[in-house]
Copies of this chain bind each other. A is one copy, B any other.
């Protein structure tokens, strides 16, 4: 078995994705079983292109700063490995693994990244190569199958709730102005982020009067009816919509660029709040405000959830520990033991069980009308936003860390041209 570790990240960033990487890094270091710990620049593409950086050469203080830095600190990519296991790409990847004496590869990402880790583990096993490959989950969308929740979700949820709560204070400060506020959250197929907004409170009451999720059917007339109905009883109405809400045909209700799809066949979403605000202005009331935290909801490390930050670290550490115990082809999955007191366990889940599968909000956590969530959802979400992380500031701004891409080593001389 190789003596070295290789870490990489892919997919969309989160506030705590680097906490997972530092968790894996420090667990490997502590173990005394490994020599070098490398990172690939830009996910699996960084492996293919042989852009590796020796993290063991970086001062401890910088690694500490990496832990609270948002977004993929090792740089990310969106790349799908070929279905054909005989493809040259696999040969190339394992050639790089060999050149760097890699015995452990950890891939930190969402559904698509778990698919990559699954394929690499399969290839290694098929060819009798002793490289342990495990996945470290992350996604603000919280839609990975087989885990109670995903690292990154709690911090995104906290940011959304803090933002919504502050917007409520802003809006209620004009007590006599009837106003509709529409907040849009990310969430392609699953509504976890939109649903999480149920936690924000103003004066002891839930801020979000209405929450619309991809798990139920979105209908413009019902939406406008809901707004009118609330507005007949109260001065302010707060509606939160998931960008991925779907019509009766099961297709996204709105896509800002309906003809463009990303490499994975996903439609580009976003901009729904503005569209709905126009409808409310046209049909009900002129005073409508939109709040779209956009990419901030996935990278706001300045207001991370301490629970999320620590669990992400532990998920990273566990992925190494599983590998050190000979377990390969698994993702670190959270199992919830109890809500109150909140307690979880981290278990290995075989990657074939989670790759490309999506987890939706159970229907019985959503109210009957499909326009809000209930106490079951709240009991689930509340523990995940607990605690604050005092990150380091410098000159009034977070002292985030950026990896120096000039430190790339070159061992495999020939370039890979596919």
Contact A382-B402, Cβ < 8 Å, known A170-B70, A175-B42: no
**Contacting residues, chain B, for A73 (C-beta < 8 A):** 169, 173
The number of chain A residues touching the other chain, given as a range, is: 35 or more
Q: How far is the CA of A395 from the CA of B165 in the complex (A)?
A: 13
The minimal Cβ–Cβ distance linking A19 to chain B, given in whole angstroms, is 14
The answer to whether B400 and A396 have CB atoms under 8 Å apart is no
Query: Residue of B at shortest CB range from A76?
Result: B173
A55 lies within 8 A of chain B by Cβ? no
How many copies of this chain does one complex carry? 2
Q: How far is the CA of A76 from the CA of B405 in the complex (A)?
A: 51
The answer to whether B302 and A166 have CB atoms under 8 Å apart is yes
The answer to whether A71 and B163 have CB atoms under 8 Å apart is no
**Contacting residues, chain B, for A412 (C-beta < 8 A):** none
Question: CB within 8 A of A166: which of B203, B301, B396?
Answer: B301
A386 lies within 8 A of chain B by Cβ? yes
A148 lies within 8 A of chain B by Cβ? no
A319 lies within 8 A of chain B by Cβ? no
The minimal Cβ–Cβ distance linking A62 to chain B, given in whole angstroms, is 12
What mask results when residues 283 to 295 of chain A are scored 1 for a CB within 8 Å of chain B, else 0? 0001001111111
**Contacting residues, chain B, for A171 (C-beta < 8 A):** 295
Q: How far is the CA of A402 from the CA of B13 in the complex (A)?
A: 35
**Contacting residues, chain B, for A387 (C-beta < 8 A):** 396
Question: CB within 8 A of A175: which of B165, B289, B299, B405?
Answer: B405
A69 lies within 8 A of chain B by Cβ? yes
Query: Residue of B at shortest CB range from A18?
Result: B169
**Contacting residues, chain B, for A260 (C-beta < 8 A):** 286
The minimal Cβ–Cβ distance linking A153 to chain B, given in whole angstroms, is 13
- A residues with CB within 8 A of B: 13, 41-42, 69-73, 75-78, 158, 161-163, 165-167, 169-176, 199-203, 260, 274, 286, 289-296, 298-303, 305, 382, 385-388, 390, 393, 395-398, 400, 402, 405
Given contacts A169-B299, A386-B396, 8 further A-B contacts (CB under 8 A): A13-B169, A71-B166, A76-B174, A158-B397, A163-B296, A165-B400, A169-B400, A385-B397
